[in-house]
Amino acid sequence: MLNSKNKIIHRYLSNGMEIYLHPSDFAPIVSIQVLVKTGSLDEEEFEGGVAHVLEHMLFKGTKKFPETGQIASTVEFEGGDINAYTTFDHTNYHLTAPATFAKKGAELLLDVVQNSLLDKDELARELEVVVEEIRRSRDNPNAIVSHNLFSLFYEGTNMARPVIGYQEVVEKFSRDIVHNFYKKWYTPNNMIFIASGDFDAQDMYNHLEKLSEEFPPKTVPQRSRQAQLNLTQKKNPTAKIERGPWQEARLQLATLAPNLEHFDMPSWDVFASILGESDSSRLIRMLREETQLVTSIDCSCYTPKYPSGLLGVGFFGMAHNCLAALKTIVQEIRRLAEVPPTHEELNRVLNTLKAQRIYSRESMDGISRSAGMSLQTSQKMEFENFYMNSVSKITTKNIQEIAQKVVNQLEAGHFHISVALGNETLPEVTEKDFIQTVTHAVNMTHHNTEPIETSLQKSNSPDFSKEDWIDTYDLKVSKLNSNVKQIEIPLPFGKILKINYRESKRLPITSAMLVLKGGLVYEPQNKNGVGGLTASMLTRGTKRQNYRKFIDELEDNASSISAFSSRDLFGMRFDSISENSLRTAQMMLDCLFRPEFSANEWQRIHKETLEILVAQKDSPSARLARISQPLLFPNHPYALSGMGTEKSLNNVNCEDAQEFWANLFHAKEFVFSISGDFDLRSFVNLIESEFKTFFDLNYVEKSRPEPVFAPHPKETAEQVGFDELKREQAHIMLSFRSFSLSDSKRTALELAANILAGQGGRLFLDLRDKRSLAYAVSASQSPNLLAGVFTTYIATSAHKAQEAIEGLKEHIEKLACEPPSQEELLRAQHSVLGSQSIESQHYNYQTSQLAMSDVYGLTFDNFLRFAERVNAVTPEMVSDVLKSLICENLPIISIVGPKETWIPQKSDKVLQWNLTR
């Protein structure tokens, strides 16, 4: 029972600002949002994009924090994170930080939204950054398809224009334009303040009331949204094809849906879920699994507060399947209109929605986000209850009626299509062809042949009569946190099973993970990608359940199971509602020990993976990885791609995957980690029984060669990789080899990356804020078992590439030669510790920590010493570690961009470190 000072407070301040305070002490974290009820809908024609520009500018200095970068640095110094985003109808400024920063964080965000300096020179620099962001969106075919769809669907309204605006308009913004919009809409009576976390609610409210004295209200201008966005249903169907240098085709089909507060909106959400939001949904089964017409497909409802919403179906895949896929989509909608979905389909979606509600309370951010959405509705905090109550009453007949409405709209021509095709792809196909495909498909009659299948019965937990059962195991309790424990179980053939766990009854959620040494470094020569294919096959059906029954039961239980193959590890994980967690664990162990390896599923997975590789050719980041890894790790498995290549995958068959799977069990140790709310005794019995049964009955011991450490590149080796990609921006990585996971010096290197990265970091403040070279710039280190990589990244216009590369290099050199200030180091230390604290709210993150420490050869509670290691780093250690690394490693530069991008030559100084500062 909350005492009076910790009750939820929902009131209005004297200046008209709406306040929602949700105290909770499950983690020492606070999440704060200031939601400004204005966005691009409120812009005049000459202001298109100004709401988004203003969002950028508010972090550039205020009365209380006047220096550029000071706001972000202040938050990061406290171990927090701050950011913002702009939508059509609101702009959200949000921060997450340790609870000790709660009142200061509230003061900072309120200062941001009322006292921005909007310096003229800063605006000029930031407009260049926004233009880089616009170029980035024009390089992205997914963004292009979405922008074009909205321009067709919401023609004649501000929603037809991208929130980010158009370059030719944004470039002309003056300070007066930005300032006038700021003063016009940024008034306290047009804002909502939301905070959740470990604080005294009444004390926070009193603090806000005091701050409100210097933030007086103003009259909010009359909005033209309702009139402007009163969309008619009398439009003819439209389509737009955008051609560019892309590999796979993208398509989005849209028709009318209700807005956020329409009484029927929950039914439309459920309809979209049944149609295409999960692996068991109809479109995914039909188009991705059975006919394999697409690589990926989804369906969702966009339901804004104002005007009509949008029901959208989007997919990408090989271009020659586009029209066939579109036809099948319409046919599946027609089938739902003719015959209602099964009760199993409906219950599966309802269970998922209920589970999502539980997961939203897992973190302070989740609580704040949920409140923010509800508070924007007229029902305020009753909206979520209304939504869930409405969902619980939905019948299969309701879904059939929604499908019939969609069919009627398609028949009447109330739909729009946006397509992205390669320049030379399907040259004979026109917009008319796509429109006619929908028109013809919707007017055909079909018979619903969807089989009705019931879920498997849930297995019962074993019955234990021995009360002191745990005394029979080797139990270890962490001296750093008594809730972190380990049970070690000997297995046949001298193998070890470790069960690491951390119990919490706060929410009925369970997260578990199984990891062992495996992955890329254990793939046979010429079989690159077999590990990833094997991981995919493990969740495609077992000897007890085919894939259809497996995925249906999983979603009936609101659970998820996945498998992965990384550079050094192979593993599986699940997340589940607690009441279904033991059954989900059994299903995951079935995947591990009894995979089906169906020939049909292998064909689907193999084809899907090849198509993903084709799609990755449109991704600059994927292309960067493919050219940088061979330069960093010559003649070593780390040089290869985790997914393989088109050539290598054509050399891998299902038998190869089965052999790779069998070889996984030659590992010496298996780590199973569990976090959340679960019955430990049942889990231990299940896991131990499954492992021992497998090794007793199905295993033959065989040694496997252990991978070797990756050699360093030779001085004569290539240092530059360039991959031409016809885009507006060049994507650049400057990297060098770093430490393995077992090297204690990697902590100092992580802090070096943080000093360079982040909104308060050197790269952001100089290359982005000062020089306006990029929208995106970062630094990171990636330690692995055999070697690591330190990477800096920037995306910039091709003509700025040389300056950008030189800028990255100069900052690395400077930090290597001159220790950071104590204040810089403290900011970095607080930032990484704060990030870990924020992530630790989630059970799946706790599960990863429990597993990874052990499998990497460290103690099972090693992650609990992270703060100790971070706080032990000195400024000198940061520069010394960085200097030692770059003395041993030449810079490796990888570039993906247009052919006019500047590329360093062997003699260029940028390919040699300069430590004579």
333 with 413, same domain: the answer is: yes
Residue 172 confidence (pLDDT): 96
Q: In this predicted structure, what is the pLDDT of residue 702?
A: 84
Percent of the chain with pLDDT over 70: 96
Measured distance between the N- and C-terminal CA atoms of the chain, rounded to whole angstroms: 62
Alpha-carbon dihedral sign for residues 806, 780, 368, 200: negative
Q: Specify whether the CB–CB gap between 795 and 776 falls below 8 A.
A: yes
pLDDT bracket for residue 5 (50, 70, 90): low
Question: Closest Cα to residue 878, out of 766, 746, 785?
Answer: 746
Q: Does the pLDDT value for residue 367 go beyond 70?
A: yes
Judge whether 133 and 164 are in contact, CB under 8 Å: yes
Going across the sheet that includes 560-565, the strands are: 474-477, 484-490, 496-503, 669-676, 509-517, 569-577, 560-565
Q: Could you tell me which residue, 218 or 461, shows the higher pLDDT? A: 218
- Based on the fold, state whether residues 265 and 199 are members of the same structural domain: no
Of 22-36, 202-216, 434-448, 559-573, which range is least confident? 434-448
Q: How far apart are CA 652 and CA 526, in angstroms?
A: 8
Q: Given this model, what pLDDT does residue 225 score?
A: 62
Nearest to 508 by CA among 580, 573, 460, 421: 580
Band the pLDDT of 1: cuts 50, 70, 90: very low
Shared domain for 219 and 243, answered yes or no, is no
Quickly state the pLDDT bin for 86 (edges 50, 70, 90): very high
What is the rounded distance in angstroms from the CA atom of residue 853 to the CA atom of residue 569? 12
Structurally, the chain folds into a number of domains equal to 4
Residue 711 domain-assigned (yes or no): no
If DSSP codes are grouped into helix, strand and coil, which group holds residue 276?
A: helix
| Residue 516 covered by a domain | yes
> Among all chains, which residue has been given the structure tokens 């409140």?
371
Residue 327, domain member (yes or no): yes
Burial class (CB in 10 A: 0-12, 13-18, 19+), 332: buried
**345 and 426 housed in the same domain:** yes
Q: Which of 99-108, 348-357, 601-610 has the lowest mean pLDDT?
A: 348-357
The rounded distance, in Å, linking the Cα atoms of 548 and 286 is 12
Kindly state the average pLDDT of the residues 174-189.
97
Is the per-residue pLDDT at 904 higher than 50?
yes
> So what's the pLDDT on residue 917?
66
The four Cα atoms 125, 128, 130, 135 give a dihedral, to 10 degrees, of -160
> Residue 340: what residue type?
P
Residues 774 and 832 in one domain: yes
**Whether residue 252 is found in the same domain as residue 209:** no
Please identify, among 170, 201, 225, the residue that sits at the C-terminal boundary of a domain: 225
Question: Nearest Cα to 572, choosing from 540, 525, 548, 606?
Answer: 540
Q: How far is 230 from 161, CA to CA, in rounded Å?
A: 16
- Phi and psi for 776 in degrees, rounded to 5? -115, 125
HEC letters along 595-655 = ECCCHHHHHHHHHHHHHHHHHHCCCHHHHHHHHHHHHHCCCCHHHCCCCCCHHHHCCCCHH
What is the pLDDT at residue 307? 75
Torsion angle of the four alpha carbons 37, 43, 48, 54, in this order, in degrees rounded to the nearest 10: -40
On whether both 433 and 554 belong to a single domain, the answer is no
Q: Stretch 427-449: mean pLDDT, rounded?
A: 82
What mean pLDDT is predicted for residues 502-514?
Answer: 96
Q: Please give the Cα distance from 824 to 812 (Å, whole number).
A: 15
17/127 same-domain check: yes
Is the pLDDT at 716 greater than 80? The verdict is: no
Determine the 3-state secondary structure of 776 from DSSP.
Answer: strand
Q: Which residue, among 461, 460, 459, 563, has the nearest Cα to 518 in the 3D structure?
A: 563
pLDDT of residue 80: 95
Closest CA to 330 of 240, 443, 452: 443
| 41 lies in some domain | yes
Q: What is the mean pLDDT of residues 161-181?
A: 97
- Average pLDDT for 743-756: 95
Instruction: Look at residues 162, 190, 225 and tell me which one is the last residue of a structural domain.
Output: 225
Strands 892-897 and 720-724: parallel
38 and 104, same structural domain? Answer: yes
Q: What is the CATH number of the domain that holds 387?
A: 3.30.830.10
Same domain, yes or no, for 745 and 840?
yes
Same domain, 812 and 901: yes
Residue 830 is assigned to a structural domain of this protein? yes
Q: Which domain holds residue 660?
A: 472-697
Q: Is the pLDDT of residue 227 over 80?
A: no
Mean confidence (pLDDT) of the chain: 92
Looking at residue 231, its pLDDT comes to 53
Mean pLDDT within 691-706: 86
Q: What is the pLDDT of residue 3?
A: 55
Q: Which of 723, 721, 751, 725 shows the shortest CA–CA distance to 738?
A: 751
With bands split at pLDDT 50, 70 and 90, how would you rate the model's confidence at 805?
very high
pLDDT at 466 over 90: no
* Amino acid found at 297: I
602-628: per-residue pLDDT in tens?
A: 999 999 999 999 999 999 999 999 999
* 364, 472 contact by CB (below 8 A): no
Exposed, middle or buried: residue 715 (CB in 10 Å: 0-12, 13-18, 19+)? exposed
Per-residue pLDDT band for 794 (boundaries 50, 70, 90) equals very high
Going by C-alpha positions, the residue among 699, 705, 704, 662 that lies closest to residue 493 is 699
Give the C-alpha distances (Å, rounded to integers) separating 267 from 38, 392, 592.
28, 10, 37
Q: Stretch 204-220: mean pLDDT, rounded?
A: 96
User: What whole-number distance in Å separates Cα of residue 240 and Cα of residue 229?
Assistant: 22
Half-sphere exposure of 246 (CA within 13 A, CB side): 26
Residue 462 is assigned to a structural domain of this protein = no
Indicate the DSSP class of residue 62: B
Assigned domain for 179 exists: yes
d(CA 148, CA 471): 64
Give dist(CA 267, CA 309) in Å, integer. Answer: 13
Listed residues 197, 225, 253: the one ending a domain: 225
Q: Report the distance separating Cα 634 and Cα 179, nearest Å.
A: 54
Q: Give dist(CA 363, CA 771) in Å, integer.
A: 37
Q: Which of 18-27, 39-48, 233-242, 288-297 has the lowest mean pLDDT?
A: 233-242
Residues 596 and 726 in one domain: no
Q: Is the pLDDT of residue 586 over 80?
A: yes
Q: How confident is the model at residue 706 (pLDDT cuts 50, 70, 90)?
A: confident
Residue 453 in any domain: the answer is no
**3-state secondary structure at position 31:** strand
In a 3-state reduction of DSSP, which class is residue 475? strand
| Pairing state between β 9-12 and 18-23 | antiparallel
